């Protein structure tokens, strides 16, 4: 894997509407990440249904290996053109980033995407094609560390129209603001929030259209090493802890006994963060130099449950308990290495613990993570 993707999104509903007529779908697999942004005709419930159908159909078909011609043909048959307004019921932008950084971008009646590197824009060479009487544009390019790409719905370029800005913000106005954000070196979520907040200001607090933003940033792969359980051979304690400490990226320790070994080898104290206590899992610990210290099997089990249920990352980030924090750490990682201790725990079922870990590894791989494990 050459790059990691940091993806942020933000939306505004049209004033007076409970649902956003735009939809965003992000699907990660082992080989690629697919982002679809769709704008449904009109607003409210009908537009939301149409755009949701578009995003889910396109993302699912591409994930299963479908060609863009098949995707568009399906969408054209499912979402016909409005006979009265002569407009497509749903427009879309589709971004597919392969694990190695190769990018495919297809756009149909949405504003053009912005591509940049650092605080400068990069040109996108687009090719026009007609598929089933629908004109689309396609682009192929490489995404490398430091690059960023922003997808928007037309609510962004229309922001301020008839109010703060007579003709709306426009593509050039959005471009200038994005270059300001690029100079701040923000994460993708912060980019998306700032851009959508500016749209809200330009609309004077009453958006005249559904407004959506997706920011995709290319980063170096994010690495996590997780040590769970003490080694079978106690003489290997120092060796395993040294391997954990020397590993690049985020370092996680799961299990009370394991944490005690790490603290002893490093000559450091273990503190308990009582503010992280919950009804289901014990509070997390604190060891200087270790990014996350949690209880063992129970915490791993509940983290696995969060991942199985597909709890949104944004919700997990708001929680402070050990299971949620472990789930967040794993979801945000690209490369995960487990160091699993094989020592027999008289107080617990080691077979059950190892089975839980194996289930966790399989699930993470299904989510597109590159996962390795060693048993000591």
Bridge-based pairing of strands 271-272 and 134-142 is unpaired
Work out the pLDDT band at 32, boundaries 50, 70, 90: confident
Predicted confidence at residue 81, as pLDDT, reads 58
In the predicted structure, residue 179 carries a pLDDT above the cut 70: yes
Dihedral of alpha carbons 268, 269, 275, 279, sign = positive
pLDDT tens digits for 288-347? 999 999 999 899 999 999 999 988 887 898 899 999 999 999 998 989 999 999 987 655
pLDDT tens digits for 206-250? 999 999 999 999 998 899 999 999 999 999 999 999 999 999 999
DSSP letter string over 59-94?
Answer: HHHHHTT--HHHHHHHHHHHSPBPTTT--BSEEEEE
Alpha helices in 152-223 (DSSP H): 154-157, 170-184, 188-202
Work out the pLDDT band at 369, boundaries 50, 70, 90: confident
| % pLDDT > 90, the chain | 62
The torsion defined by the Cα of 100, 5, 159 and 75, in degrees rounded to 10, comes to: 60
Both tokens assigned to 271: 């503190």
Residues across the chain: 376
Give the residue, 215 or 77, on which the prediction is more confident. Answer: 215
Both tokens assigned to 36: 């679809």
Residue 217: count of CB within 10 angstroms of its CB: 24
**pTM confidence score:** 0.76
């Amino acid at each position: 894997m050459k790059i990691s993707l940091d993806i942020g999104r933000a939306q505004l509903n049209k004033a007076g509407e409970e649902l956003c007529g735009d939809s965003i779908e992000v699907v990660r697999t082992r080989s690629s990440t697919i982002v679809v942004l769709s704008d449904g005709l009109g607003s409210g419930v009908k537009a939301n249904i149409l755009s949701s159908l578009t995003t889910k159909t396109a993302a699912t078909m591409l994930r299963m290996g479908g060609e863009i011609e098949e995707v568009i043909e399906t969408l054209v048959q499912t979402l016909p053109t409005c006979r009265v307004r002569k407009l497509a019921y749903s427009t879309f932008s589709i971004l597919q980033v392969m694990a190695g950084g190769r990018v495919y971008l297809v756009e149909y009646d949405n504003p053009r995407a912005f591509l940049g590197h650092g605080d400068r824009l990069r040109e996108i060479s687009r090719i026009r094609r007609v598929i089933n009487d629908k004109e689309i544009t396609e682009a192929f390019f490489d995404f490398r560390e430091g690059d960023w790409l922003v997808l928007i719905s037309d609510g962004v370029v229309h922001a301020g129209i008839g109010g703060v800005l007579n003709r709306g913000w426009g593509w050039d106005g959005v471009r200038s603001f994005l270059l300001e954000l690029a100079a701040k070196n923000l994460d993708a979520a912060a980019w998306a929030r700032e851009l959508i907040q500016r749209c809200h200001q330009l609309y004077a607090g009453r958006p005249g259209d559904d407004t959506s933003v997706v920011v995709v940033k290319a980063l170096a792969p994010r690495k996590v090493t997780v040590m769970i359980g003490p080694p079978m051979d106690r003489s290997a304690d120092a060796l395993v802890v040294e391997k954990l400490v020397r590993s690049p990226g985020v370092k996680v320790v799961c299990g009370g006994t394991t944490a005690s070994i790490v603290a002893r080898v490093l000559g450091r104290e273990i503190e308990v963060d009582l503010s992280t206590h919950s009804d289901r899992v014990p509070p997390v610990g604190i060891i200087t130099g270790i990014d996350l210290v949690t209880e063992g099997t129970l915490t791993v089990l509940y983290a696995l449950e969060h991942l199985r249920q597909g709890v949104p990352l944004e919700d997990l980030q708001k929680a402070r308990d050990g299971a949620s924090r472990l789930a967040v750490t794993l979801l945000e990682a690209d490369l995960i290495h487990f160091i699993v201790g094989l020592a027999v725990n008289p107080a617990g079922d080691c077979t059950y613990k190892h089975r839980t870990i194996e289930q966790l590894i399989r699930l993470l791989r299904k989510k597109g993570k590159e996962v390795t494990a060693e048993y000591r």
